[in-house]
Structure 1
Amino acid sequence: MRVTRRTTAAVATATALVMTLAACGGASSGEAEPSLRTHTDVGVYTWWAAGVEKTGLDALADVFEKQHPDIRFVNDGVTGGGGSAAKDHLQSRLENQDPPDTFLVHAGAELDDYIADGYVVDVSDLYKKYGLTDVFPKDLIDQLSTEDGKIYSVPSNIHRANVMWANPSVLEANGIDPSARYESIDAFIADLEKLDQAGITPLSVGTTWTQVHLLETVLLGTLGPDAYNGLWDGSTSWTSPEVTAALENFKTVMSFTNEDREERDWPEATKMVIGGEAAFNIMGDWAVSAFDEADMTLGEGYVAVAAPGTAGTFDFLADSFTMTADILSPESTEAWLETVSSKEGQVAFNKIKGSIPARTDVDRSGFTDYQRMALKSFEEDAIVSSLAHGAAVPVAQLNAVSDATLKFVGANGHGDVSAFQSALAASAG
């Protein structure tokens, strides 16, 4: 058993109890020794420390405590910083044998290193126990499964990465279809040129990770879902002419973005569309919270459509929870995963966070117009894995892709498609 702070505390408590009973003459040779497995906590590690994420976590914890009143939810995560900083902190805890009972991770290839290092355990049996294989789409089960058919996390939600947000008033004022629907990247680029000539920022983007996010949607929109998936399973070569064309498209699209992108994160880039400074932004559907806060109505104040060339495809990422290996009470963690996967837990959490449940059997009446649209797409469209958000590639490869993207289109980027393509091919090993 790995030694944790909680384990140490339990040992100390048990030792003190033994000494007290002995001093009082209350322990006899026939009585059971105090057990280290008597605590009824579950320590949950996330980076959800503010905004709708924290509110959503609180709602999920409320459902958990109603479903499992004998187990206490403990927020065992970081109180500040984003996912990247939290993952570094988590890695330190895992390496120092101080693991939380369960931790937040993006489902998919991001888990590979945790699996290889033995930090998480297979939870496939829970999928059978709670009937999740019947209520999660088959495509999602396939995306969650390793090559040997094991599953190591339970998704609390589903986000869609390939969403384009647009200001219809800006489009209409410049003679562009305000529906913002594009069947191809080429058609999209033609309208970016019109907006640029009119003095409008055509497409807003933020710092490097948002540019990688844009890269994945351009790859998907140029290659199509099958060839895009092939980048991750090896059936599509990174050095192919099709990928060259996609990277040329990415370079062109990036040339129509705001020059101060390195000074912005996704909220600031989204606000450019909200304020009419930019026509388009491509970002995951967590961006809907910014439009909601601005009291804008879908279809009137803003539109949300599939990114150019990606209609009929749902580019997924999922906030998921693991069962950490060698923890004090696996039963408590199983209870948390049961709540995370339950109808009640998924509905309560996703209504707040703006994402959608992984389950297909939930009552949709209480969800927003955008969420109902996303639920329909998730149910009907081909599902592919997000590059920028850990579903498609391990952390090391994503870091290499991010470094290559910064060198390509960063403030001092070389702009050499051939060198960019070689770096991406090298990242795939």
Structure 2
Amino acid sequence: MFRLTFSLACAAATLVPHFVHAAETVEVIHWWTSSSETAAVAKFKEAASKRGLAWKDLAVGGGDNQRILLKARVGKGAPPDAAQINADVRSYAANRENLSNLDEVAAKGKWDEVLPEPLRRFARQGGKSYVAVPVNVHRQNVMWINAEALKKLGATSAPKTWDEFFVLADKAKAAGMVPLAMGDDIWVNFTFTQVAFTTMKPDEFRRAFYDLDDALLKGPGVVKAFEVMRKLRGYVDRSAPTRKWNEATQMVIQGRALAQVMGDFAKGEFNIAGKKPGVDYLCAAVPGSGRSHLFTSDAFLFFKQPKSSKAQMDLAEVFMDRDAQVAFSQAKGSVPARMDADVSGFDECARQSYADFVAGAKDGTIATSPSLMQTPARIGAWRDVVLGFWNDPDMTAQQAAAKMASAARSN
């Protein structure tokens, strides 16, 4: 019996290498650490595991902290295999020899066919080759409105234009309600971007904030955006500068404020509060933008490693996988970056966002946030102009627009 058992054990040992393969490890650095974000990342981890990849997680709380750590790792010559990125792609793309070539996997996955032009441009950053893999889309031009408050003001639908919003805002103010819930300075700049997207045609917006068209940056569209911002300033309460964005969202949820301009990630606050879209709140396109879609995107860079890059390319395929993107976005609150996804299981707000995203890709009415296309220095310079105008009632809209053009030239 002993000899038989020993023989079987030896035979089994010789067979193991033929069907058991050690998983290839990929180190991934990201800033998704909240409960919903962790649940979303788990979907990518699960898909990676099915591809025989061992995901080595490096989750860093806070986007700024992650960026600092990533920069330090790259500077020391010890970058991770993959890194979450959005606003800093341009900086890393300037040194392409440090990044893995994604052309083969992109051609195999037909990325050119499934990604809209603005996302392709973002993922290539001025070159012919892909340097990043977009995994999702967050719509930014959304106005969140308390449905009960809207009803009290005698309205049944979201305002389609800024003039319609100002009429509602005056009524809200008279009723003791904050017309527009606002957060600290970063969200003032965020709101300006959404407003500019409504006062310019999408192609003008792209030429101004991507290509730095001087005439457009100081032209009537940007001037009009500052004029709208001046008027919006009168509908924001004094406590806004010390308020976080989610605290502003709570004001809308509780009916203390009529509306807020915020990306679709605000939906998580409504979900936690047990509120339902179309019943307790409206998630409408920002007044004046119609079905046009302005978005930001999370993406991943892949850094060259001494060892084989096969595991990295496998992970790139996971990130672009249609089902993986759907599962991730359902947990994250975003929508897939691909235009061929099945979003029938998403909620009302997400389905509308995705429909506008896909339609906009076909008719040219979508655009990415300027932060995805420009250097942090230029974005910072524009932010300073916007905040200077917001806090200085004596600065004219024409002067602010001229400063925007000047900041583009000097940064």
1:255-270 matches, cutoff 5 A: 255-270=234-249
Name the structure 2 match of 1:306.
Answer: 285
Following TM superposition, by how much is the alpha carbon of 1:317 offset from its aligned partner in structure 2, in angstroms? Answer: 1.2
Q: Does residue 343 of structure 2 align to residue 343 of structure 1?
A: no
Following TM superposition, by how much is the alpha carbon of 1:304 offset from its aligned partner in structure 2, in angstroms? Answer: 0.5
Name the structure 1 match of 2:107.
Answer: 128
Q: How many angstroms apart in 1 are the aligned matches of 2:306 and 2:262? A: 37
The C-alpha deviation readout for 1:366-421, integer Å capped at 9, x for no partner, is: 2222221112111112211113xx224221111222233333325xx565135533
Specify every segment of 5 or more residues in structure 1 that has no aligned partner in the other structure, as ranges: 1-37
Alpha carbons 1:317, 1:391 under 8 Å: kept: yes
Which residue, out of 142, 152, 163, partners 2:131? 152
Question: What SS is found at the alignment partner of 2:129?
Answer: coil
Q: How many angstroms apart in 2 are the aligned matches of 1:250 and 1:41? A: 49
Cα distance 1:120–1:250, how it changes in 2: closer, same or farther (>3 A)? Answer: farther
Which residue, out of 322, 334, 340, partners 2:301? 322
Specify every segment of 5 or more residues in structure 2 that has no aligned partner in the other structure, as ranges: 1-21
Provide the aligned C-alpha RMSD in A.
2.1
The C-alpha deviation readout for 1:131-180, integer Å capped at 9, x for no partner, is: 222322345334544334332111111111111110121111122x2321
Q: How many angstroms apart in 2 are the aligned matches of 1:253 and 1:99? A: 44
Which residue, out of 375, 391, 394, partners 1:394? 375
Higher alpha-carbon deviation: 246-255 or 292-301: 246-255
Alpha carbons 1:160, 1:314 under 8 Å: kept: yes
Q: How many angstroms apart in 2 are the aligned matches of 1:302 and 1:122? A: 45
Q: Does residue 363 of structure 2 align to residue 383 of structure 1?
A: no
Amino acid at match of 1:393: Q
Higher alpha-carbon deviation: 143-152 or 244-253: 143-152
Q: How many angstroms apart in 1 are the aligned matches of 2:103 and 2:248? A: 39
Q: How many angstroms apart in 2 are the aligned matches of 1:262 and 1:84? A: 20
Q: Does residue 201 of structure 2 align to residue 224 of structure 1?
A: yes
Q: Does residue 331 of structure 2 align to residue 352 of structure 1?
A: yes
Following TM superposition, by how much is the alpha carbon of 1:275 offset from its aligned partner in structure 2, in angstroms? Answer: 0.5
Q: How many angstroms apart in 1 are the aligned matches of 2:35 and 2:303? A: 27
Which residue, out of 173, 176, 199, partners 1:199? 176
| Aligned pairs, number | 380
Q: How many angstroms apart in 2 are the aligned matches of 1:406 and 1:123? A: 39
Cα distance 1:50–1:156, how it changes in 2: closer, same or farther (>3 A)? Answer: same
Name the structure 2 match of 1:18.
Answer: none
Q: Does residue 220 of structure 2 align to residue 237 of structure 1?
A: no
Alpha carbons 1:162, 1:315 under 8 Å: kept: yes
Question: What SS is found at the alignment partner of 2:126?
Answer: coil
Amino acid at match of 1:361: D
Q: Does residue 29 of structure 2 align to residue 42 of structure 1?
A: no
Q: Following superposition, which runs of at least 4 residues in structure 1 exceed 6 angstroms of deviation?
A: none
Q: How many angstroms apart in 2 are the aligned matches of 1:121 and 1:181? A: 46
Higher alpha-carbon deviation: 308-317 or 134-143: 134-143
Alpha carbons 2:198, 2:288 under 8 Å: kept: yes
Q: Does residue 55 of structure 2 align to residue 73 of structure 1?
A: yes
Cα distance 1:237–1:364, how it changes in 2: closer, same or farther (>3 A)? Answer: closer
Name the structure 1 match of 2:403.
Answer: 423
Higher alpha-carbon deviation: 157-166 or 245-254: 245-254
Alpha carbons 2:85, 2:300 under 8 Å: kept: yes
Cα distance 1:292–1:99, how it changes in 2: closer, same or farther (>3 A)? Answer: same
Name the structure 2 match of 1:271.
Answer: 250
The C-alpha deviation readout for 1:191-242, integer Å capped at 9, x for no partner, is: 2222223221001111122111100111111123122112122335322233
Cα distance 1:426–1:96, how it changes in 2: closer, same or farther (>3 A)? Answer: farther
Q: How many angstroms apart in 1 are the aligned matches of 2:81 and 2:291? A: 38
Q: How many angstroms apart in 2 are the aligned matches of 1:361 and 1:242? A: 33
Alpha carbons 1:409, 1:415 under 8 Å: kept: no
Q: Does residue 380 of structure 2 align to residue 403 of structure 1?
A: no
Cα distance 1:399–1:351, how it changes in 2: closer, same or farther (>3 A)? Answer: same
Which residue, out of 179, 189, 192, partners 1:215? 192
Alpha carbons 1:296, 1:302 under 8 Å: kept: yes
